Amino acid sequence: MLKLQKHQNFAEVIYASREMRHGVPTTDIPEEGMAAQTAQRIILDELNFDANPALNTASFVTVWMEPEADELLKRTSDINFIDFHEYPTTRTIHQRVINMMGNLLNAPAADGDPEAAAIGTATVGSSEAIMLALLAHKWSWRKQRQAQGLDASKPNVIFGADVHSCWEKFALYFDVEARVVPLQPGKYVIGPADVEPLIDENTIAVGVVVGTTFTGQNDDFTGINDLLIRVREERGWDIPIHVDGASGGFIMAFVHPEIAWDFRLAQVRSINVSNHKYGLVYPGMGCVIFRDASCVAEELIFKINYLGGEMQNFSLNFSRSASQIFLQYYNFLRLGREGYRRIMANIMRNARHLAERILASGRFELLADINYLPVVVLRLRDDSRYTVFQICEILRERGWSVPAYTLPPDAETVAVMRVVVKENFSRDMADIFARDLENAIQRLETDRPIRRAPPVDGPRHRPC
């Protein structure tokens, strides 16, 4: 009996199991299943070939939360966010998060009531949030044109080439002309002088980015707001601003609360943020917040009753886990404003420390001052011997995932590398990265490689 028990234990060793003797299924669902531990192990083994999330400096998304948040995620992953009839507490917590976001972004309270509900919704990420906001602005523009008996068939939206690709997707998917302001070497954001020539009576919105993913800079939101106020007064075109705060919204709110970039600007009608970035929540969650209820046409709010009771819905996605909404509420309760201020300030300090360490070598120049976003964007002062693409390839050998890319048109001659500093990127990690970068350069200078140019063909993808 003892021998049989030992044999059974040996047979249960994963790497000696029957399933491990053959290749894993890749095209057809297998006829028979396998042990839960074996299926889990197969997937985890293959994931070992992916980048380590803690060393992924390409992405802005959160990769670490407290153990209590991990447990909350596990215990709430089966709650369907969309089903407010069955989960009324989920609806309550969601509205609390939206209210807190509205207050953070200085949304005006309805009729001066600070307890009034903010207008907005949680989304899967900023891509959905941006599309919902621009759809709302398109509907408002069209209704106004139709009420005046004017043509409403040629809407356009204005934004810079510094935006995320979802802006271009919106224009393509929803039949809106994209009027894109090109960039140029030395100028990587947009301002009123860029926007004014593109404005006309068919402009549904102007997009302004707070913390671009390319360089970490801000578009000139104040100048563009002043321009649109003047256009409204002189021409009668009330053109809204949508602020894309996916990367920079939380940073600006807590690090620079004195700067008016949000609903304190008169023409700002909607703002999106990515809670799964500097909201410190696991992916995927974003939010879109509107100035008031008049910004969202009633026709865009769907009333559904096939989940048990009538509910209102404004989204592009439908069923999804409510976990991230709970995680954001957890962080708001856990950290408070003081906690967020402390974390954001430390992230900014670590980013500046990293930039100083790297710049001390004299080999790089910083594309923008690190004032608004903890993103270190670097270009080589001399790329005649090696490029940022080669540097990043060597850094990957140490486990670092560092993006190298060229800037959007018409600044595509500028090649850069980018390090996104997040909460888990500590001062110690910054020092290790700086040493690894120096070692990579020493290796390239010793080997004297043939210079390799960045790729020029194929589809261009914006960094996320």
- DSSP character string of 224-276: HHHHHHHHHHHH---PPEEEEETTTHHHHHHH-TTS--STTSTTEEEEEE-TT
DSSP bridge partners of 257 = none
Q: Map residue 165 onto helix, strand or coil.
A: helix
Distance CA 43, CA 48 (A): 9
List % helix, strand, coil for the chain (3-state, nearest 5): 40, 15, 45
Q: Which residue has the higher pLDDT, 339 or 411?
A: 339
Residue 394 pLDDT? 96
Confidence band of 111 (pLDDT split at 50, 70, 90): low
- Using left for φ > 0, alpha for ψ between -120 and 50, and beta otherwise, residue 262 falls in beta
Residue 412 within a domain? yes
Q: How many CB atoms lie within 10 A of CB 447?
A: 12
The helix (run of H) or strand (run of E) holding residue 99 is helix 88-104
pLDDT of residue 314: 80
Q: What is the pLDDT of residue 285?
A: 96
User: Lowest-pLDDT range, 125-134, 238-247, 366-375?
Assistant: 366-375
Give the residues across from 210 on adjacent strands: 218
Q: What's the CATH number where 209 sits?
A: 3.40.640.10
Is residue 457 situated within a structural domain? Answer: no
pLDDT score at 4: 42
| CA atoms in the 13 A half-sphere facing the CB of 349 | 9
In a domain, 60, yes or no: no
Q: Is residue 137 over pLDDT 50?
A: yes
Question: What is the pLDDT at residue 184?
Answer: 87
pLDDT in tens, 178-216: 999 999 888 999 999 999 999 999 999 999 999 998 999
Determine the Cα–Cα distance for residues 283 and 321; give it in Å rounded to an integer: 11
Is residue 278's pLDDT more than 60? yes
Q: Write down the pLDDT at residue 19.
A: 79
- Measure CA 436 to chain center: 27
**Virtual CA dihedral for 397, 402, 408, 412, nearest 10 degrees?**
-40
Least confident of 81-85, 184-188, 268-272, 319-323: 81-85
Q: Which of 235, 243, 236 is nearest to 219 (CA)?
A: 243
Model confidence at 3, pLDDT cuts 50, 70, 90, reads very low
In this predicted structure, the answer to whether residue 6 has a pLDDT above a threshold of 80 is no
**Are residues 110 and 29 part of one domain?**
no
Q: Examine the pLDDT at 110 and tell me if it is beyond 80.
A: no
CA nearest 64: which of 464, 349, 331, 273?
A: 331
How many domains is the chain built from?
Answer: 3
Residue 14, classified by CB atoms within 10 Å of its CB into exposed (0-12), middle (13-18) or buried (19+), is: middle
The pLDDT score that the predictor gives to residue 300 is 87
Per-residue pLDDT band at 308 (split at 50, 70, 90): low
The burial of 226, by beta-carbon neighbours within 10 Å (0-12 exposed, 13-18 middle, 19 or more buried), is given as middle
* Residue 342 DSSP SS3: helix
Q: What is the mean pLDDT of residues 287-316?
A: 80
Give dist(CA 34, CA 19) in Å, integer: 7
Residue 435 structural domain: 345-447
Residues counted in the chain: 464
Tell me, what's the pLDDT at 316?
83
Average pLDDT, stretch 5-30?
74
Across the chain, mean pLDDT equals: 91
DSSP 398: T
In a domain, 456, yes or no: no
Type of residue found at 122: A
**Pairwise CA distance, residues 365 & 378, whole Å:** 6
Alpha-carbon distance of 219 to 159, in angstroms, equals 10
Tell me, yes or no, whether 289 and 364 share the same domain.
Answer: no
Same domain, yes or no: 397 and 320: no
Q: Are residues 312 and 358 in the same domain?
A: no
d(CA 311, CA 288): 19
Cα-only R_g, the chain: 25
Please, are residues 179 and 207 in contact by the beta-carbon 8 Å criterion?
no
* Confidence (pLDDT) at 23: 86
Residue 452 lies in a domain: no
* 1 has pLDDT over 50: no
- Same structural domain, 300 and 440: no
Residues 166 and 86 in one domain: yes
Inter-axis angle of helices 323-359 and 427-447, nearest 10: 50
Give a yes or no: residue 41 inside a domain. Answer: yes
pLDDT at 153 over 80: yes
CATH of the domain at 357: 3.90.1150.160
Of the pLDDT bands very low, low, confident and very high (cuts 50, 70, 90), residue 448 is low
Asked whether residue 192 is domain-assigned, the answer is yes
Last residue of a domain, one of 276, 297, 331: 331
User: Which tens digit of pLDDT belongs to each residue from 35-56?
Assistant: 898 999 999 999 999 999 999 9
The answer to whether residues 195 and 287 belong to one domain is yes
Position 410 in a domain: yes
How far, rounded to the nearest angstrom, does the alpha carbon of residue 365 sit from its chain's CA centroid?
A: 25
Percent of the chain at pLDDT exceeding 70: 91
CA–CA distance, 422 with 374 (Å, rounded to integer): 8
Quick one: pLDDT at residue 7? 47
Q: 116 with 195, same domain? A: yes
Which one of 309, 331, 353 terminates a domain?
331
Banded pLDDT at 2 (limits 50, 70, 90): very low
Q: Are residues 227 and 79 part of one domain?
A: yes
- 287 and 221 assigned to the same domain: yes
Last residue of a domain, one of 306, 331, 356: 331
* Predicted confidence (pLDDT) per residue in 342-376, tens digit: 999 999 999 999 999 999 999 999 998 888 899 99
**SS3 letters across 175-229:** CCEEEEECCECCECCCCHHHHHHHCCCCEEEEEEEECCCCCCCECCHHHHHHHHH
Contact 433, 74 (CB under 8 A): no
Taking only the tens place, the pLDDT of each residue in 423-432 is 999 999 999 9
pTM to 2 decimals? 0.91
Phi, psi of 312, rounded to the nearest 5 degrees = -100, 145
Minimum mean pLDDT among 83-92, 207-216, 291-300: which range? Answer: 83-92
The answer to whether residues 282 and 385 belong to one domain is no
- Per-residue confidence (pLDDT) for residue 433, from 0 to 100: 98
In this structure, the answer to whether residues 324 and 350 fall within a common structural domain is no
Query: Strands across the sheet with 404-406, in order?
Result: 364-366, 375-380, 415-420, 404-406
Least Cα distance to 429 among 68, 63, 69, 71 occurs for 63
Count the Cβ atoms, other than its own, within 10 Å of residue 202: 19
